[in-house]
Chains A and B, each alone.
Chain A
Amino acid sequence: MSEDILANIAFDADGFMTDANAWTPEIAHALAAREGIELTERHWVVLNYARAEFKAKGEAPTLRNITKNTDVSTKELYALFPGGPGKLAAKIAGLKKPTGCI
């Protein structure tokens, strides 16, 4: 059932939503399920912060920015979003792919 809700959503080649406004918390659950993640309250601290930052700055926040402005440590970030917390959090939060650094 969780995949159905994603049926009408537009994604880029890497699976990032192209329109952050189309996102809903239900979509986040479905996107997380794709990644094998079950969202907890701690995930939501990160996701809510990432969305707020994106709204303010137009870019998904860096890991350093997240850990500086929330009570989530880098270690916890990697536990919550195994592999690449920056990219994964942005993906599940419905944000466009973070532009890598140069």
Chain B
Amino acid sequence: MKTLLILGAGTAGTMIAKKMSQKLDSQQWRIIVVDRNEQHYYQPGFLFLPFGSYKPQDVVQPKRRYIPNRVEFILSDIERIEPEANRVLLTENKRAISYDYLVIATGCDIRPEETEGLLDGGGWRNNIFDFYTYEGAVALSHFLEKWPGGRLVLNVAEMPIKCPVAPLEFLFLADEFFTRRGIRNKVELIYATPLSGAFTKPKSAALLGGLLEKKHIHLEPDFAISDVDSSANAIHSYDGRELPFDLLITIPVNGGAKVIGQSGMGNDLDFVPTDKFTLQSKKWPNIWVMGDAADIPASKAGAVVHFQLEVVVENILAHMAGRELHAKFDGHASCYIETGFNKALLIDFNYDTEPLPGHYPIPGIGPFSLLSESVINHWGKLGFRFMYWNLMMRGLPMPVPDKFSMAGKQA
């Protein structure tokens, strides 16, 4: 019996477990998935929790519900990966699992401890919140229910972060939330980002920058945070700027799973060096890396994981059969951006092409419009939750093409 071991049962781990269980002969292969958490969180829903438009029960499901029967699910922390010995050590019963093939899908997480005064300065979850964790998003929803208004500063500590559009969406939704509560005139919204503009890609940065202005959200670009001073309720940048706040929403430093670093397999932020086309580890040919855990220059998003799936499946099967790795991931990302008041934008891009205006997925028709606000895009975003639980996690096809296409885009 040979073993395919999958680390992490989030978006990527769950999907690859399902797909490989359909491909590998159960007489010859056992498939094991390890995760420390019994709950599967729909992370895109964390954006809506603070404003009460999603409730906690909307974003949580038991992980086991989506793991096929023939796959062994082990609830445990991963203690160490030993790629030279083809073995993984778990904390649970100190179990050691030897593998023939390994898929790393341990995602990425926030590291508030990396910024001075953020976690330990006295403000954490008093007037400083994150919304990248379930706990943070829920705590923030309770805070916002009673907040009378003031200066809200949203700070991105460092790039890369997962779902790089989420901070902007938060601000757009906050603008709507405070408007509907009748206190928008009592709230200042400030976006302090280490980027030189609203976003990483030039065309969308210009468009999103315009939206910020229209919604009276102040952009503080090139802001590299050095520390949080909770005695004065202010954040400082390395170049000496000070931004006072009443409420600080932080996207802390994002890093890969700590176990990656502890196993000596990661870069400076514990992301795994990965071939950006084949998604194979750069160092170990029997290791594949999916989703947020990889160091590739693609967006860290669930939709991206979806586009990677076929590539990983094909390449693992090819490698098992001693064939060449033909399948290539093109960096395809497709993100809805909530812009408030029941509208959303859609951006679609890959390694080589930045987001362009047009229609998606059917050229000239849509129904989704690229790079322009529409109500239908907003439905698309809300529909993503249904597709996530009922199509993606169940291994059913999604109604969009995997490969990036220029059709319908205006270059």
Q: Which residues of A contact B (CB under 8 A)?
A: 62-65, 68, 74-75, 77-78, 82-84, 99-102
* B239 close to A62 (CB less than 8 A): no
* A101 close to B200 (CB less than 8 A): yes
Asked if B222 CB lies within 8 Å of chain A CBs, one says yes
* A84 close to B222 (CB less than 8 A): yes
Asked if B224 CB lies within 8 Å of chain A CBs, one says yes
Evaluate whether A75 and B238 lie within 8 angstroms (CB atoms) in the complex, with A65-B268, A100-B195 already known: yes
A63 to B333, CA, bound (A): 26
A78 to B268, CA, bound (A): 20
- Shortest CB-to-CB span from A61 to chain B, Å, is 9
Asked if B159 CB lies within 8 Å of chain A CBs, one says yes
Asked if B264 CB lies within 8 Å of chain A CBs, one says no
* B226 close to A102 (CB less than 8 A): no
Evaluate whether A101 and B222 lie within 8 angstroms (CB atoms) in the complex, with A64-B268, A68-B268 already known: no
- Per-residue A-contact encoding for B157-196, CB less than 8 Å = 1, 0 else: 0111000100000000000000000000000000000011
Task: Write 28 A-B pairs (CB below 8 A) sorted by A numbering.
Answer: A62-B268, A64-B158, A68-B268, A74-B224, A74-B238, A75-B238, A77-B238, A78-B224, A78-B238, A78-B239, A82-B239, A83-B222, A84-B196, A84-B222, A100-B159, A100-B195, A101-B159, A101-B160, A101-B164, A101-B297, A102-B160, A102-B164, A102-B200, A102-B297, A102-B298, A102-B299, A102-B300, A102-B333
* A75 close to B226 (CB less than 8 A): yes
* B226 close to A74 (CB less than 8 A): yes
Interface footprint category on B: 10 to 19
Asked if B269 CB lies within 8 Å of chain A CBs, one says yes
A75 to B196, CA, bound (A): 19
Which of A74, A83, A100, A102 has the most chain B CB atoms inside 10 A of its CB? A102
Residues in A with CB closer than 8 Å to B200 are 100-102
Which of B222, B224, B226, B298 has the most chain A CB atoms inside 10 A of its CB? B224
A78 to B224, CA, bound (A): 10
Residues in A with CB closer than 8 Å to B300 are 102
Sort A-B residue pairs by CB-CB distance and give the 3 closest, nearest first.
A78-B238, A101-B159, A101-B160
Q: Which B287-321 residues have C-beta < 8 A from chain A?
A: 297-300
B351 closest partner in A (C-beta): A102
- Shortest CB-to-CB span from A11 to chain B, Å, is 19
Residues in B with CB closer than 8 Å to A62 are 268
* B268 close to A99 (CB less than 8 A): no
Residues in A with CB closer than 8 Å to B222 are 83-84
Residues in B with CB closer than 8 Å to A101 are 159-160, 164, 200, 297
- Shortest CB-to-CB span from A59 to chain B, Å, is 10
Residues in B with CB closer than 8 Å to A82 are 239
Residues in A with CB closer than 8 Å to B298 are 102
Residues in A with CB closer than 8 Å to B268 are 62, 64-65, 68
- Shortest CB-to-CB span from A18 to chain B, Å, is 19
- Per-residue A-contact encoding for B215-240, CB less than 8 Å = 1, 0 else: 00000001010100000000000110
A85 to B226, CA, bound (A): 14
B222 closest partner in A (C-beta): A84
B227 closest partner in A (C-beta): A75
Residues in B with CB closer than 8 Å to A99 are 297
A75 to B240, CA, bound (A): 10
Residues in B with CB closer than 8 Å to A84 are 196, 222
Residues in A with CB closer than 8 Å to B333 are 102
- Shortest CB-to-CB span from B156 to chain A, Å, is 11
- Shortest CB-to-CB span from B271 to chain A, Å, is 11
Residues in B with CB closer than 8 Å to A64 are 158, 268-269
Task: Give 20 new A-B contacts, CB below 8 A, not counting A78-B224, A102-B164.
Answer: A63-B224, A65-B268, A74-B238, A75-B226, A77-B238, A78-B238, A78-B239, A83-B239, A84-B222, A99-B297, A100-B159, A100-B195, A100-B200, A101-B159, A101-B297, A102-B200, A102-B298, A102-B299, A102-B300, A102-B333
- Shortest CB-to-CB span from A16 to chain B, Å, is 15
Residues in A with CB closer than 8 Å to B224 are 63, 74, 78
A63 to B299, CA, bound (A): 20
A68 closest partner in B (C-beta): B268
A67 to B297, CA, bound (A): 22
A75 to B268, CA, bound (A): 18
Residues in B with CB closer than 8 Å to A78 are 224, 238-239
